[in-house]
Structure formats: C-alpha cells, structure tokens
Structure 1
Amino acid sequence: MNDRTHTPRQPGAASNEPLGRFFQLGPDLMCIVTQAGTFKAVNDAWLDILGYRPDELVGRSLLDYLHPDDHDATVALVRRMRDGERVRLFRNRYRSRAGEYRWCEWNAVMSANGEIFAAARDITDQEVVRDELEASVAHNRMLLREVQHRVKNNLSIVASMLAMDMSRLRDPDALRALGDARERVKTIADLYTLLHRKPSNDTIDLREYLSELVARVYRSMSSPADHVALQESFDPVGVDFDTAVCVGLITNELVTNAFKHAFPGSGGGTVRVEVARVADGRVRLSVSDNGVGLPDHTGPDNALSTGFQLVAALADQIGASVDVEHADGTRISVEFSG
C-alpha cells in the first residue's frame, strides 16, 4: 500500500486550503503544467496510479514520461490548446515507475496565463479489454472467411457434379431440371465468392452481386442469334447475407425465365433488371421483358411452374411482396425491406 503521509507540500498546487484539499482528494490524475511544459503541481493520484511521488514530478517536462508513439500527437494538442481548443477525452500513454505504460484519458483547459489545468482517468484496463475483443473479432473473421471459402469450393464441386450428370443424360426434362438446379447452386456460390473478396461481412452490395449474377445468366442463356438485349439499373443497396441469398435466387429465376420463355420466335427483345429504393425504406427488384407475356391469371398465388413457386417461397421468407404486370410483355416486381 502506498504511504501518502510524507508527501511534501507542492508549490503552487492551490493558493487556498479548501481548493488544495479538493485537488489532493481526486482519485484521477490531476496536474497544473506551466507555459514551459513542466509540471507545476500534481496530486497524490500520480503515486497511486503511476508510482511517482509528486515532488519527483514537479519541474519535470510532461513529455518525459510519454510513450514515444504519443509524443507528436500530444505536442500538437498543446499547440492547439494555445489557439483556444479545449481538450476532451484525449488518450495517450504514460510510463509508470515500474516501466509499464498506462493509458490515460485527458480533459484539459489552458488558462489565460498559459498554464494547463488537466485531469486524466486511467483507462488501461478498458484498453486491454478492447484490444482482446478486437483480437477475438479479427480471429473470428479469419475463421468465418475460411468457412466461406470452403463453402464456396463445396458449392462449386456440387455444380461440377451436376454438370457431369447432365453430360450423361438425354431426357430433356431431366436435363432442364438439373440445369436449373446447377444455376441455383452457382447463384449461391457467387455470393460466397463476393463475400470472400470483401474486407467486411456486414452487408452485401446488391448492385455488385446482382450485376455479376445477371451477366452470368446472360452469358449462359443468350446468343447473338437471339437478338435479346440486357439492360440493368441498380441503386446502391446493402442488405444482410440471408436477404442477399433470397434476392439472388429470385433474380436468377426471373431472369432465366425471361430468357427462356419471353421470346420463343427469336424475334429479339429486351430484358431489364432494376433495383431501386422506394418509399419507407423499402427496395424494389423488378425484372421485365417486352416479349410474349404470361397468361393474365399468372401470379404468385397460382403459380404453376417450379421457378415461380420458388420465387413466391423465397419472397415469403424475407417478407417481400410480389406483383405481376402483364402490359407490353411481363414485369415482375419484388418489394422487400432494405
């Protein structure tokens, strides 16, 4: 236990006795610094926290005990204080008598005569906890990226196995079913590829994800002889991973369906994919074409195809509404929270 009974009285610590007592009673580091940057007075908390007696510090430069990495920032702060800036929650490290550095969080003000009145709280324990948490988060992120990479590779293997099975089939219906399944697997694999490129996994940029997805579908479904153009318009929208999976699969189904069925006579046309922010923080995904259109009664509640049933199920999973318009071709809109 530190003995505080023999601490000498410091010159200039306080000119009146009540203020001096208050100065010494503070549990945090308190000090007065001269214009020359030397300690004029410090309280007994310096002994408790850093191990220095007040008489050891008076007359010494406040920079003598600083961590080297904090020197420039502290000097710059003192200069700004001379211009009238008041310090709040400034952090630096001071060396203790034992040789370790303690984190201090300062509030300070400069008086009219150029002296600095400052108080600091020892926040070393909080900094240690924060460093441990940051290290843990970094480790978990590394593990997550490794898992994502392995999932992506496994999905690619599944897609390759489906392609091998397709090469041995002759039945058109079986080929079509396996082809659709393979495209759905690749849609999810694309999302994991995007995740692996990102430094953070907080949100998925739909513009980047869907642009790559739609381009892949276009390459696989279209040929120059079809004369079908693809148009895109994507507002910047970020969503969580689960929503991105559903929106990606919905987009894959709708765009694939448009290329397959909207232009049966190969007379050409246009498929347009849009993502736009609408009212109340909602996001609208729209896939439209100017092809032959769907039967008037077709909608999410009476879908006959597996693809449309999947769209309805995925939309329900993210609380989205589905709207089908039949004028001048087909326009299917899926609106969800973004």
Structure 2
Amino acid sequence: MTELEKQLESYDFSLFSYPKVVENAPIAFTRVLQDTQGYALANKEFTRQSGYSRQEFNSLKDEEILGSIHKDDLNGFLKAHEEWCNNNFRDTFRYMYRIINREGKTLWLDVYYYAELDEEGKPYAIDQIYVDITDRINYENLLRESEDKYRRLTESVPAAIFIYSDNRFIYGNEYSVKITGYSVEEMIGKHFWELVHPDFRDDVIKKGSERLKGNEVQSRYDVKIIDKYGNEKWLDYSGTLINYLGKPAVLGIAYDITEHKKTQQALIESELKYRTLVENMSEVILYVDNNDRILFANDNVTEMFGYDKTELTGHFAGELLVDEDYREAMSDRIKLRRHGFTDRFEIKMRKKSGESLWVEISSAPLRDNSGNLIGSIGIYSDISERKTYENTIESSLQQKDLLLKEIHHRVKNNLQIISSLIKLQSSHVKDKEIHSLFAESQNRIKTMALIHEKLYRSKDISVIEFYDYIKNLVDSLYASYGISPDRVKAKIEFRSIYLDIDTAIPCGLIINELVSNCLKYAFPNLMKGNIFIDLTEQNDIEYKMIIKDNGAGIPETIDFNNSASLGLKLVKILSEQLGGNVELIRENGTEFRILFKKANYLRK
C-alpha cells in the first residue's frame, strides 16, 4: 500500500468544507446528494478525468455514466458497490477500475466513497475521491512485461542459470534441472558445492568464497559435477558477483560440455594411437609441405638415412636425400603431389655418410579441415637389398616371380597403410564434403591395392584376369557408398581378357572414377537403374571400354574436356596415358567409350 493509499484510507472528508482546497486539489473530488442523485460538487480534476463539467455530468443519464466504465470492470464494480450499500455504507468503499472519458481516452482510477449519514444513520450525501493511477498501472505493466521477457529468456537459454548467496542456491532456471537432475525446489537451499565432484570441490569453494568477498578470481573454468543420479558431467562454468535483494550473490551460467570432453578425450586417444603407429612402423614416415620441405620425420629416419630427425626438419627432402642423378625425376613427382595425386615410385637416395640406397616411396596428399592441399605424407621403404637381389636372379624366372610377388604384397600393404592413415585423419574432419574427398582418395588407393593383390595371387604375375578384378572393384565401390545392388544393378560382360599392370592400373582407376560418379549422382532420390561395364578386344592393337548408366545423366553445362572435377580430369589424363581417347554420349543416361592401345603397341 502506497503512502497516498494509507492517507486516503483514513481520510478526513471534512475537507469538503474547504472549497478552494478541494477545487484545486490534484485528486478528483465529488459529492453526490442522495435526494436528487445530483452532483453538488465536482472539482477541476474531476472535469479533467471525465471530460465533463459538474453541470454537464448532472445532465447525463445513469446508463451513460455507467457506460463510461470499462466493460471488463463494470460488473465487478456494481457487485462491490451493492455489497457496500447492503452493509449500511460502513467504512470507506474502495475499488479500482478503468473509465473511457469523453475524449475516448482510457484512465485507471482508484476510487474511494464515504457516506455522510443523518441522525437516523441514513446517507444524505456520498463524498467521492478519484485518484488517477494510469501512469502507475502502465509502469507496473511494463515492469511485468520486462520480468516476463527476461524470465522467458533465462528459461529458453540452453544453459543452467542460477544464483547462490551464502553458499546456497536461491534461484535456478529449468535448464538447471536438465543438467543437475534436481528440481528447482530441490535445488533451492542446497549448498552449491554439494553438486561439485570431490576432485574439484575445494578449489570451487575457495573461488566461490573469494568471489563473494569481492576479490578477483578466475571467472570462467571447466568443472566436473555429480548429478542427482550419480552421473559425472563436465560444465563450462562462469560466475559473476551481483547484488541480489541487498546482499552479495553470484550469478552462475553453466553449459554442459560432457560430450565435448568425451570427444576431446577420444581425439587424444586417437592421436596417441596414430603417433604410436607412426613411431613403431619399420618404414620411414615423412610429412612434407607443398614445397617438399620436411615438417616431420619418425625415429626410423636415423637408421635408414643416418640423420637425426631434428636435422631434417625444415630442409628440402629432394635436395638433401635424393641422389643427384635422380633429382629431376623427383621434381616431376613433386609436381604430381601438388595436384593432389597419390603416388608410388622407386628412387635412388643417399645417406648422410654418402652411401646410396634404393627406396620405394608411397605418398598420399594431406589436406586441412577446409580441404586445402597442405602437403603429402610419404612412406619410405628401403629396397636396396631387393634391388641387389633382383640383379642377381634375373636368370631365374621362378625366383623373379617370388620377388615380384613380394613386391606386390608389400606395395599392397603400404597402400593399405596409407589408406588407414587417411582414414585416421578423416575421422577428425566434421565437414561432409571434405570427408567425401578423403573417402574418394581411399577408393583410389584401394583400386591400386586390389591390382597388386590380384598380381600377388595370380599364377602369372605379369598379368591379371580383368573380369574378376572389375567385379571385385565394383563390389568394393557399392559397399563404400552404401548402394544396394538390388536398386542399382551392375552388369559386367564376361570376357577373358588379361592386362598387365601398366594397363590394369589406369583402367582400374578409370572404372573407379566413372562407377563412383554413377553411384553418387546418376540415381538420386532412391531411383532404380543399371550400370553396364564392358571391355572388348577390338583388334590386335586396341581395346574398347564402355561404362554407361541409364540414370539422370550428366548436365549439358558440364564440359568434359574442361571439367573442374578431379575425377573427370583423371579419366582424361589416364586415357591419354593409355594412348587412347574418350567419347561422352548423353543419351538415355551417360555413356563413356574409351578406345586405347594395347600395352605392347603403346610401348612401340
């Protein structure tokens, strides 16, 4: 109750005997005579509120006077007034309601009636006071709206928001329930440190106490709590000293970062596994940037090249490690790396002592989280002994076959290691497009690894039976992209054709790129269809390979000869490497026809 309201409750209505005071008062005063039901008095403030003078108001009918009261307030007013009258006009009548005055403006009024009684106790006049409380009501409404807005804000934020004073919770939003498991009622009055994990409790109590004292402490830190059900959770907590109801308190905001912490721990463990793998491989691992500058080398580099790994960091690998006669060849390989190609080759290198050695290098591109090429990773295998062995057993075909089988086996293993390393790295990438690029690189590596697997298991290690290879490759791609063979059927024409490694690898990579494109783009929205693959011997010097589908087709806007797609570029480059050409037909889907030379005629 305001001071004005207290005064009005005990108001001495004898002031009506002071006409000047009443006439100029900032409160509306009226007196209604019971015998005439006319207004004997109405001051200036009443005229301002109602818009009528006393004379004009007296001319109004009862329904017109009551009609000025807001329709939502009228019935309540009439009922309260009737009760007052029935109670013999005892005490002061008070009611708050809205009026719509003569000008159409809505006002809130706090109304007080006092009955002047004659000797028989009957009222001969009613003294009335009308206090304009419109501004106060509007302010209260604004305040209420502001409180509602901030309440909705705190309840909608995905974070626990709470206040504690004297080390006890005095407020908590609904999200606090989700994080702690306690209802708001259960939280209120509880010591804040009861929720904190014992390992963190002393530190949190100390920081909280210092903050309440006004001392400067770390405002944001990670803390572990135990919820109502015994579950451990990690919170990103920040606290601010505030004044709440006249006392120092702490406003706390906490985000649940439990899953983030688990992911962080998984990354640490994954990094440890990855590093353990690299450091314990028998081969040398080198990371180089796009300029062939060494960024990392594992411990095996000392045994293979005689350098401590710290001596190599920052130097150009080709200049420091490659034999002078082979540096130009190495330069060509570096150019391929800069275009993101996976590569495998043998090269003569030199140790710190000057002693030469033969090394087999398997390399794959390295990309950052945005998919930008930042360098390459290379696996260096010392094949010096193998080279010496090859030179001494040239006369023995059987021994040569055994050696080549070993080479293919080791190459297959190396490619699988590279594929595994790429897979490890891709597990840290959240962007789906970049993750897809890693997957495509893995499929290309698997395509080459499958060639070496077939050669390793073949009776004649100089060639492979290509139908069986295509079937295994297509099955692998279906599994990689998760495509059901019942929805998209692969039809591979059986022909007994044998290809050597120089022809099989480019052909396999072409099939990998074109079939991958079919599986990714040709049959959208669970569309059904067919993929057709055929390799035929045209004549003594040429093969013809057809890969087609009856899917959505390549858009006319894509120029095959000038495509930005790495896959289509590879198809064009590999076809030229085979001495062939590519024809693209855009009818009833997409068809690629590739005519290329047999290996022996290509060498001529």
| Distance in 1, Cα, partners of 2:484 & 2:561 | 35
Question: Which of 560, 567, 571 is residue 307 of structure 1 equivalent to?
Answer: 567
Q: What does residue 265 of structure 1 align with?
A: 525
Q: Which amino acid aligns with 1:217?
A: L
**Which amino acid in the other structure matches residue 561 of structure 2?**
D
Aligned to 2:467: 207
Q: 5 Å matches for 1:276-315?
A: 276-279=536-539, 281-296=541-556, 298-315=558-575
Identify unmatched segments of 5+ residues in structure 2: 1-391, 599-604
CA distance in 2: counterparts of 1:201 and 1:216, whole angstroms: 23
Inter-partner Cα distance in structure 2 for 1:133 and 1:157: 29
* Structure 1 match to 2:481: 221
How far the C-alpha of 1:163 sits from its partner, in A, is 1.4
Residue 281 of structure 1: CA displacement? 3.7
Aligned mate of 1:137, from 388, 394, 397: 397
Provide the C-alpha distance between the structure 2 equivalents of 1:312 and 1:225, rounded to a whole number of angstroms: 28
Q: Cα deviation per residue 1:194-221 (whole Å; 9 max; x = unaligned)?
A: 0111122222221121121112112222
Q: Is the 1:234–1:276 contact (alpha carbons within 8 Å) kept by the matching residues of 2?
A: no
Partner of 1:158: helix, strand, or coil? helix
CA shift for structure 1 position 233: 0.8
CA distance in 1, matches of 2:459, 2:486: 39
Larger radius of gyration: 2
Is 2:504 aligned against 1:244? yes
Cα deviation for residue 136 of structure 1 reads 2.2
- How has the CA–CA distance of structure 1 residues 231 and 192 changed in structure 2, closer, same or farther, with 3 Å as cutoff? same
Q: TM-score, normalised by structure 2?
A: 0.33
Note the C-alpha offset of 1:226.
8.0
Residue range with higher mean Cα deviation, 268-277 or 303-312: 268-277
Counterpart pick for 1:165 among 411, 425, 429: 425
Identity %: 32
Q: Deviations over 1:123-170 (max 9, x none)?
A: xxxxxxxxx988622222222211111111111111111112222210
**Corresponding residue for 2:588?**
328
- Superposed, which structure 2 residues align to 1:1-338 within 5 Å? 136-224=396-484, 227-279=487-539, 281-296=541-556, 298-338=558-598
Contact 2:394 2:400 in 1 (8 A): no
Answer yes or no: is the 8 Å Cα contact 1:270–1:290 preserved in 2. Answer: yes
CA contact (8 A) 1:272 1:287 kept: yes
Match of 1:126 in 2: none
Deviates more, 1:154-163 or 1:196-205: 196-205
Residues 299 and 324 of structure 1 are in contact (CA less than 8 Å); yes or no, is this contact kept in structure 2? Answer: no
Letter in 2 for 1:179: A
Alignment TM-score, normalising by the size of structure 1: 0.57
Cα deviation for residue 181 of structure 1 reads 0.4
Change (3 A) 1:297 1:282: farther
Distance 2:430 2:578 in 1: 37
Residue type of the alignment partner of 1:236: S
Q: How far apart are residue 179 of structure 1 and its match? A: 0.6
8 Å contact 1:235–1:277 — kept in the other structure?
A: no
Q: Does the 8 A contact of 1:203 with 1:240 survive in 2?
A: yes
Conserved in 1, the CA contact under 8 Å of 2:478 and 2:485?
A: no
| Separation in structure 2 between the aligned mates of residue 226 and residue 235 of structure 1, nearest angstrom | 23
State how far apart, in whole Å, the 1-side matches of 2:492 and 2:484 are. 19
> Conserved in 2, the CA contact under 8 Å of 1:300 and 1:322?
no
- 1:336 Cα deviation after fit: 1.2
Report the AA paired with residue 445 of structure 2.
V
Greater strand share, structure number: 2
CA distance in 2, matches of 1:183, 1:273: 18
1:256-299 deviation digits (Å, cap 9, x = unpaired) = 00000001222211111111222454211111111110123545
- State the 1:230 CA deviation: 1.4
Cα distance between partner residues in 2 of 1:284 and 1:182? 27
Q: How many residue pairs align between the two structures?
A: 207
Going from structure 1 to structure 2, the CA distance change for 1:150 and 1:329 (only over 3 Å counts) comes to same
C-alpha distance in 1 between matches for 2:449 and 2:597: 24
Structure 1 pair 140/279, CA: closer, same or farther in 2 (3 Å)?
Answer: closer
SS in 1 for 2:561: coil
Cα separation, partners in 2 of 1:144 and 1:279, compared to 1, 3 Å = closer
Provide structure 1 residue ranges, at least 5 long, that are not aligned to the other structure.
1-131
SS in 2 for 1:301: helix
